[in-house]
């Protein structure tokens, strides 16, 4: 047989064997049907198992046996959200049994190890606001935990914000103490009472407070990459919402995160551990807040300028050197350089100068503390009173005239004078009425025609007690809902009679302009 015929016979034999072993088309169909049925039964079984697992997980999530181990009295969300072991901000969880913060919840994470070591099982993710049971690692779904998420992140509706100044309802903290939302103490971590007083004063300015209570007002503001100043806006908003939270676990708030943002954004100009100056802090804070919200010096306005910014005319005249002969002085006054110039300028607050404190003592060898009416020191802005300003080389005469009054007017009473050697404090008492301060006479006639309302009522009064470098700050604030005045010094909150406020060494004051729809304040 030739090689070709051998290959053909081998091929036909192989084909015959394969065709015999290959199932018929009917058999293929029957096998496929049986396999399909088996597959469907397998899928059904798997789906059933999966549903069973989902049901059991759902049951576990909704019936966690450890909810009664939560200790609300130790929960404090005012501090920086970082792990107490790794000091990392990433993926931080709060243990709801002991109140400490830990990172992660996976195997070998700090939260997982803590749960196994101490049998603490309920944790809250500080970013997503979800609750988990560890080490079993399932999410807990229970409406009874809503009060904890509200304390961590309070929210306010437009209706709630609109009613804040109309209600006088006391809230009850978890330990049973009662407090008025908005009139709550702030922790003095070491030496930050100067900042606390300013923050409490600003939190009682309704339009500013209302803007920051609603995060939607500023969360979409575009900032350049790496801009840390916006942290100031976020932290101030968080502090406002905590101060006005009607469902707080404590009757006080710690400004820890807010102050850390201040230290960072001011490049350590203002610190927690060193006493600062209230006016310096207020000035920096308002300008930094305005800039972080996207405001500019001239054109772009923000809530800060809408509330506090007024304008004035500043008239300046250069004076000849006092040591020059009289004839030469007379001659110089005719030169252009010595003619009066006028500029328009905006302001966030007005600085009121106190008369020099006397050095003599009374018959009991006690220094006499002088008193001065508020209207006397306001005369600086009547457009007539001239004040001499000395620089290293030159002397100027200046006078000021107000051209626009803001809705909220801040007075800073200049109590401290600095020289090369020390800071001296002027203890002069300023006599001021609590309500009905009319500033019409400080405006020019054409400006008076535009300004219908020029009467102001006091809403906040910051006081400095003691020596310049080591003194302390306290604040008097008016609660709009009750019409009562309260004194706050760090964690202490007490009510105070309005007539007692005028006896203090006032340093910073915030006044509210009366508008047509305003009624006279009570309790003033």
CB 492 within 8 A of CB 187: no
Enumerate long-range contacts of 152-158, CB under 8 Å, 24 or more apart.
152/77, 152/124, 152/126, 153/129, 153/241, 154/241, 154/242, 154/244, 154/245, 154/247, 155/215, 155/241, 156/213, 156/214, 156/241, 156/244, 158/214
Among the ranges given (48-52, 138-142, 177-181, 329-333), the one the predictor scored with the smallest mean pLDDT: 48-52
Whether 310-518 and 153-304 are alike in CATH topology: the answer is yes
Range among 111-120, 265-274, 422-431, 465-474 rated most confident: 111-120
Q: Which residue has the tokens 């106190």?
A: 354
Q: Tens of pLDDT along 382-425?
A: 999 988 888 777 888 999 999 999 999 999 999 998 877 788 89
Kindly write down the DSSP assignment for every residue of 322-346, as one continuous string: TTS-HHHHHHHTTSGGGS-EEEEEE
Q: Which fold has domain 67-150?
A: Herpes Virus-1 (3.30.40)
pLDDT score recorded for residue 5: 47
CB 295 within 8 A of CB 301: yes
pLDDT score recorded for residue 516: 64
Select the CATH number that applies to the domain covering 310-518 from these four: 3.90.70.10, 3.90.230.10, 3.50.7.10, 3.40.190.10.
3.90.70.10
pLDDT above 70 (res 44): no
pLDDT above 80 (res 40): no
Nearest-CA neighbor of 243 among 452, 479, 84, 70? 479
* Domain residue limits, the chain: 67-150, 153-304, 310-518
pLDDT score recorded for residue 349: 97
Task: Work out the angle at residue 214's Cα, subtended by the Cα atoms of residues 210 and 219, and round it to the nearest 5 degrees.
Answer: 130
d(Cα 287, Cα 362) in Å, to the nearest integer?
A: 44
pLDDT band at 322 (very low <50, low <70, confident <90, very high): confident
What is the CATH code for 153-304? 3.90.70.10
């Amino acid at each position: 047989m030739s090689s070709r015929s051998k290959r053909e016979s081998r091929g036909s034999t192989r084909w015959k064997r394969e065709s015999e072993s290959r199932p018929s088309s009917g058999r293929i169909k029957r096998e496929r049907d049986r396999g399909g049925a088996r597959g469907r039964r397998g899928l059904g079984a798997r789906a059933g198992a999966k549903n069973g697992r989902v049901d059991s997980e759902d049951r576990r999530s909704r019936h966690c046996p450890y909810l009664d181990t939560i200790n609300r009295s130790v929960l404090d969300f005012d501090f920086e959200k970082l792990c107490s072991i790794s000091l990392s901000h990433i993926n931080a969880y709060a243990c709801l049994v002991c109140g400490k913060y830990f990172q992660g919840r996976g195997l070998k994470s700090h939260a997982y190890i803590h749960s196994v070591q101490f049998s603490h099982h309920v944790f809250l993710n500080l970013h997503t606001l979800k609750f988990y049971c560890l080490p079993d690692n399932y999410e807990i779904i229970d409406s009874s935990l809503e009060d904890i998420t509200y304390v961590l992140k309070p929210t306010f509706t437009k209706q709630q914000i609109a009613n804040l100044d109309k209600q006088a309802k006391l809230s009850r903290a978890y330990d049973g103490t009662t407090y008025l939302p908005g009139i709550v103490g702030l922790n003095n971590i070491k030496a930050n009472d100067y900042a606390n007083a300013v923050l409490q004063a600003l939190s009682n300015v309704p339009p500013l407070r209302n803007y920051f209570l609603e995060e939607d007002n500023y969360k979409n503001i575009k900032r350049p990459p790496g801009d840390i100043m916006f942290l100031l806006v976020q932290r101030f908003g968080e502090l406002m919402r905590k101060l006005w939270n009607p469902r707080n676990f404590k009757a006080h708030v710690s400004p820890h995160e807010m102050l850390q943002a201040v230290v960072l954004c001011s490049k350590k100009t203002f610190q927690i551990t060193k006493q600062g100056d209230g006016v310096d802090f207020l000035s920096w804070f308002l300008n930094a807040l305005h800039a972080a919200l996207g405001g500019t010096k001239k054109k772009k306005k923000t809530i800060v300028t809408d509330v506090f910014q007024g304008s004035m005319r500043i008239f300046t005249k250069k004076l000849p050197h006092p040591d020059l002969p009289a004839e030469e002085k007379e001659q110089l006054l005719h030169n252009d350089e010595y003619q009066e110039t006028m500029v328009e300028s905006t302001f966030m607050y007005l600085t009121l100068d106190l008369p020099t404190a006397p050095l003599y003592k009374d018959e009991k060898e006690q220094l006499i503390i002088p008193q001065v009416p508020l209207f006397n020191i306001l005369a600086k802005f009547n457009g007539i009173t001239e004040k001499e300003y000395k620089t290293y080389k030159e002397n100027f005469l200046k006078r000021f005239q107000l051209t626009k009054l803001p809705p909220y007017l801040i007075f800073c009473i200049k109590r401290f004078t600095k020289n090369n050697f020390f800071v001296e404090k002027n203890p002069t008492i300023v006599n001021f009425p609590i309500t009905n301060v009319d500033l019409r006479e400080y405006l020019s006639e054409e400006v008076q025609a535009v300004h219908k309302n020029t009467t102001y009522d006091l809403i906040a009064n910051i006081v400095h007690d003691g020596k310049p470098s080591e003194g302390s700050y306290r604040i008097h604030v008016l609660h709009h809902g009750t019409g009562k005045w309260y004194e706050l010094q760090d964690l202490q909150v007490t009510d105070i009679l309005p007539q007692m406020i005028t006896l203090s060494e006032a340093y910073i004051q915030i006044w509210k302009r009366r508008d047509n729809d305003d009624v006279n304040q009570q309790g003033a």
